[in-house]
Amino acid sequence: MLSGIGPRDQLSAVNITVKKDLSAVGSNFRDHQVLYIRFTLSNQAIPNPDMLVTNADPEFNATAAEGDVALFLPFKDFSSSYANITALISEQDATAYLPERYAKTEALLKGFLSQRKILVEHYLSDYAATIQKPLARGTLTLNITNLSANPVIVRNAFHNPVNRIMLGELRYSPVETGPRSQYQINDEMYDASIKAGAFDPTYAHSSGACTLMPEELGGCVNPQLRVYGVKRLRVMDTSTLPLIPEAHLQATMYAVAEKTVDIIKAS
């Protein structure tokens, strides 16, 4: 945006000369949200974290494995109400849970509705991890008090109530230790998790904000990764992803980078 490519109203507000009025810049921002859950186990496996921490044998530390604790489950795998809950998405007024700019920009709204149709299909499928493909859309804007500072990010995590309902469908075992059993209503569980510090709106998987989509659907770059209306400028990073994958982004971006090299060589 500092170079003059972005929403006209934002650029004009800070006296930046508009080179390309592209409302999609800074829109369609997404991330993976994370809920940290603790369990009380009656029978510890061997080896277990305590053994690795307290045992002096260096072999334990040398063989410590961490990180293999994430599951990306389809919605239907943990909810018998998956079809009814998913149906709520299409019944929503899309603008009710989107940033204000979507109601003012036809291309952005059309693009989200196209994405929403795909998300509904994914939510009903056997392979998509639903909470990993959120309905919420955040924004990335200039810091008007200091243009040299980092941009202002508004994530809007779980702003759409359907994703909160989906989260409430999860059942924890073997023993739930937080947010605890006294919270039975979805909103109560959601609020209690936030207060307990168990919710994090980012898993360091920020993406979107400069998406590869048709310009008439709120896109910023074309299939050759060229910015619409700008010569000799391409973008290649996670900001170009139209929909966030239900996976960590690093391997995906390695693949995108390889494709980008082929695109540049062929041009």
Q: What is the pLDDT along the chain (267 residues), one digit of tens a residue?
A: 999 999 999 999 999 999 999 999 999 999 988 777 666 667 777 667 676 667 666 555 555 555 555 566 788 887 889 999 999 999 999 999 999 999 999 999 999 999 999 999 999 998 766 678 899 999 999 999 999 999 999 999 888 999 888 877 765 444 444 555 555 555 666 677 666 666 778 888 999 999 999 999 999 999 999 999 999 999 999 999 999 998 889 999 999 999 999 999 998
Q: Find, among 86, 24, 33, the residue nearest to 203 by Cα.
A: 33
Burial class (CB in 10 A: 0-12, 13-18, 19+), 230: middle
Domain ranges of the chain: 5-43+67-266
Determine which helix (DSSP H) or strand (DSSP E) holds 40, and give its type and residue range. none
Position 183, amino acid: Y
N-terminal to C-terminal alpha carbon distance within the chain: 26
pTM for this entry: 0.78
